[in-house]
A and B are shown apart, each in its own frame.
Chain A
Amino acid sequence: MLPWLIRRVLTLVPVFLAVSVVIFSILHFIPGDPIDNLLKVGSPASARAEMEARYGLDRALPVQYGIWLGKVFQGDLGTAIVARRPVAELIAQALPHSLRLGGLALLFSSVVGITLGIIAALWRDRWPDRAIMGGVLVGSTMPNFWLGLILMLVFSVWMGWFPVSGARGWNSLVLPVVTIGLGGTALVARITRVAMIEAVRQDFVTLLHAKGLPPLRIELFHVLRHALIPVVTILALRIGWILGGAITVEVVFARPGLGTLLIKSLSQHDYPVVQACLLMLAMAVMLGTLLGDVLQAMMDPRIRAAMA
C-alpha cells in the first residue's frame, strides 16, 4: 500500500500548484496596483521599494509566482498589513481553533448522520424513515448562520445553557459544532440510507440470511459495513462543506479561527492574510480527499487489490 500512497500523494502536487496559482493571482485580479494592495494606505516610498524588492514585483509574473511559492514553502507567508505581524503567526493562532471545531463537526455529522441513516434504512418507508428524512431535509434548508443565531438565542440567551460566544471552555464548542454538524448530518444520513437500502438487495445478504444469522447482526455488521464505503467517499469529498460551514459559524459565534480571520481580512483588504487563509483551507480540502481514499482502501479489500 505504501507505493500507492506515495503515488496518490504525488497526484496532489499538480492540484496544489494549480490552486496556489489561483490564490497567488488573486492579488493581480483585484482592482488597483498589487503593491498598493500589499501596503497600508499612505506608506512611504521606501516601504514601496522594499516590498517591490521582497516579492520581485518588477519582474515577470511567473518569476513573481516562483518567489512567492518559495517563501510559502519556507513558512514565510508575508506580513499582515493591518495587524503588522507575520501572517504565519496569525495562522498558527487560528488554525487549532478551526481544526478543533471542524474535526468535532465532522465527527458529529458522521455519528449522527450514520445513526439516523441506519434507523431510516431499517424502517424504510415507515414513519421513522419519513420523520428522519423530513427532518433532515428541513434542517438542510436553513442557512447555517441563521441556525447558529437561533440556537444561540434559544439555548444561550433563553435557557442559559451555553456561553453566547467566544472560545473559552468546552461548552462554548457545543452550539457551533451542532450548527455546522447539522448541515453535514443531512448529507451523511441521506447517503447512508440509500447505500444501506442498495446493499440489502445484494445476493450476499440473502445468503447471510440463508446461513441463519440474526437479522440485526446482518444489518449492522455486514450491510452497514458495506454501505459505509460510499459514505466515507462522499464525506471525504465534501469535507469542504464542513469547512465552508465553519467559516460562517465562526463569525456568528465570534470564535477565533480561519473563517473569522478570512472574513475579517477580506473586509480589511488585508490580502496576504486572505491568501494564507485560502491556502490553508485548500490544503485541508486536499488532505480530506486523501484521507477519504486511504479510509476507503482500509475498508475495501477490492480497492486495496486494485492499488497494488
Chain B
Amino acid sequence: MSALLELSGVSVAIGNVALVDRISLRVEAGRILGLVGESGSGKSLTAMAAMGLLPLIGGRVTEGEVRFAGRDMAGMSDAERRALRGRRIGFVTQNPMTALDPVQRIGAQVDIVSRLHLRLTKAAARARTLDLLTQLRIPDAAAVVDAYPHQLSGGMKQRIVIAMALAGDPELIIADEPTTALDVTVQAQIIQILGALVRDRGLALLLITHDMGVIAQICDRVAVLYSGRLVEEGPVGPIFANPAHPYTAALIDCIPQEGMAKRSLRGIPGAVPSALAFPPGCRFHPRCRRATETCRDDAPPLLPLGAGSVACHHAGPP
C-alpha cells in the first residue's frame, strides 16, 4: 500500500542551525503513526515540515523530500500547498488555549474551513459545523458556535480544533501533542476521539507526543526521535515487547504503570543536548548505559531489524 504522507531523508534547519537530520517516515491511510521524543527532539519541526509551514517560523527543508499522495511538496506552488492544508491535511496544535483566534466566534472559525475548501454556502457550512461538533460529542453545539474561545474549557477547545481539522474532510491529520496541555481525564477522551476518527473514517494520523503511554494506547507504528535523528521505528507491539534501542527502552520505562506510585518513575539521566552542540557519534551516548568508544566516534546508521529498524551499535534487549 502506498503511503499518503512520506518523508524521505528530510533535514530541517532554522537559520544555520540543523535541527532535524535525515529522517524518513510513512503514514498510511487508516493507520496511526506515533512520533515520540522529548521536547527539542525535532518533533514539532517535522510536523511543520509535513504541513509545509516551516517558513512561518523561519525554517526550511535542507535536504530530502516531503511527499503527499505521491507528490513532492517542494515542487508545488504556494497556492497548491495551501490548497492541501485544511482540505486534505488537517492540523491539531499543541495548546488549545492559544490555538483559537480569541476575538472571533467559534462557529465562524470552523465554518471558514468548509467554506474555503468545499465551497459551501454560509448556511451549509454552519450546518456542517454543527454536525461535526455533535459528532465530537460537544454538548449544546448550537450555543457553542456563538461562544468566544475564552468561554470554553481546554478540552472543549481541543475538540473545536479537531472539528476545524475535520471540516475540510481531510485524508490525513497531523496532531502535534494534542493532549499535553489538558487534564488527564480529558486527555483520554481526546485520544479516544482521534482513534475513533481513524477507525470510522479511514483517516491517516500522524500523532506527535512525548508520552509512550499514548503511543501504546492507539498507534500502529511508532518512530522514536532523539536530538533530530530517528533512533528506532517499527510496529508498536514488538517494540514495546522488545525495544532494541536503549533510549526507546528508557522511554517505555517512563510510562507510569497502573498501581504504581509516581516516585517509581525512572527518568533518563542527563539532559537533551542543545541543537548548537550535538555530541559527536551517537547523539544519545552521553546518557547511555551501553555507550562504548564506538558510540562516541561513529553515528550508528538506521538498519532494518525485524519489521522495523534501529540505529544503535548495541541494539538488542537490555
Name which residue of chain B comes closest to A229, CB basis. Answer: B103
Using known A-B contacts A203-B99, A299-B103, A302-B102, determine if residue A210 contacts B112 with beta carbons closer than 8 Å.
no
Which of A203, A205, A212 is packed against the most chain B CB atoms within 10 Å? Answer: A212
Q: For this complex, into which size category does the number of interface residues on chain B fall? A: 20 to 34
C-beta contact mask, B190-211 vs A, less than 8 Å → 1, else 0? Answer: 0000000000000000000000
Q: Is B45 an interface residue (CB 8 A)?
A: no
Candidates A204, A205, A212, A229; contact of B113 at CB < 8 Å: A212
Contacts of A225 in B (CB 8 A): 103
Q: Does B95 contact A (CB under 8 A)?
A: yes
Interface contacts (Cβ under 8 Å), in number, total 75
Residue of A nearest to B90 (CB): A210
How close is A215's CB to chain B, nearest CB, in angstroms? 8
B86-107 near A? 1/0 per residue, CB < 8 Å: 1100010111001111111000
B51→A203 contact, CB < 8 A: no
Q: Which residue of A202, A210, A213 is within 8 Å of B98 (Cβ)?
A: A202
Contact A305 B151 (CB under 8 A): yes
Residues on B with C-beta less than 8 A from A229 are: 103
Main secondary structure of the interface of A (DSSP, over half): helix
Known: A301-B150, A302-B150. A209 touches B56 (CB 8 A): yes
Whether, in the assembled complex, A40 has its beta carbon less than 8 Å from a beta carbon of chain B, the answer is no
Q: How far is the CB of B182 from chain A (nearest CB, A)?
A: 15
* Across-interface contacts of A214 in B (CB, < 8 A): 82
Given A206-B93, A299-B103, A211-B113 contact (CB < 8 Å): yes
Contacts of A205 in B (CB 8 A): 56
Does residue B20 face the partner (Cβ distance < 8 Å to A)? no
Which of B53, B56, B98, B150 sits near A305, CB closer than 8 Å? B150
Restricting to B160-215, which residues have a CB under 8 Å from any CB of A?
161, 164, 168
A residues in contact with B102, CB < 8 Å: 204, 226, 300-302
**Residue with the highest number of chain B CB atoms closer than 10 Å, among A203, A222, A225:** A203
Residue among A204, A209, A213, A302 making CB contact with B53, cutoff 8 Å: A209
Minimal beta-carbon separation of A60 from chain B (angstroms): 53
List the interface of chain B (C-beta within 8 A of A): 51, 53, 56, 82-87, 91, 93-95, 98-104, 112-113, 116-117, 148, 150-151, 161, 164, 168
Interchain residue pairs A-B with the least CB separation, the first 4: A212-B86, A210-B91, A212-B85, A203-B98
